[in-house]
Amino acid sequence: MEDQRKSLGNFGERLAAMSLLRGGYTIRGTQVRTPFGEIDIIAERGKEILFIEVKTRKTEMFGSPEESITAKKRTHLARSVEHYRITEKVLDRPFQVDAITVLMDQKTKKATLRRIEHILEE
């Protein structure tokens, strides 16, 4: 079960990265580990750095993908982003923290991606 979930998550992250590339972003890193957790995707376009949390689901039976971004997850993400900005010496650059949700349709085998901007400001 854990391998399937990790495989699905990795698939969603690849789709999200491709979506960002099509949108003109450059990928700085994926699955970037910090002492506070992992940042799924770090991208940039111009001077702006974009930190992305990706949530992938096969069904909404247990809630939407974005509902799994809990307050605890947001706290870890905020700390991870701050750690990255300090260690990579990019504190002077504008940044944004977004989520990309990926919902897989089991019948059509198609994915629906949705970008939710500014997830730490809600």
pLDDT in tens, 23-46: 999 999 999 999 999 999 999 999
The pLDDT of residue 108 is 84
Domains of the chain: which residue ranges?
A: 2-116
Q: CATH says 2-116 is which class?
A: alpha beta
Measured in residues, the chain has a length of 122
Structure confidence by residue, pLDDT tens digits, 38-93: 999 999 999 999 999 999 888 777 777 788 888 999 999 999 999 999 999 999 99
For position 48, what pLDDT does the model report? Answer: 97
- What was the pLDDT predicted at 4? 66
Say if residues 17 and 102 touch (Cβ distance below 8 Å): no
Its pTM stands at 0.90
Residues β-bridged to residue 98? 52
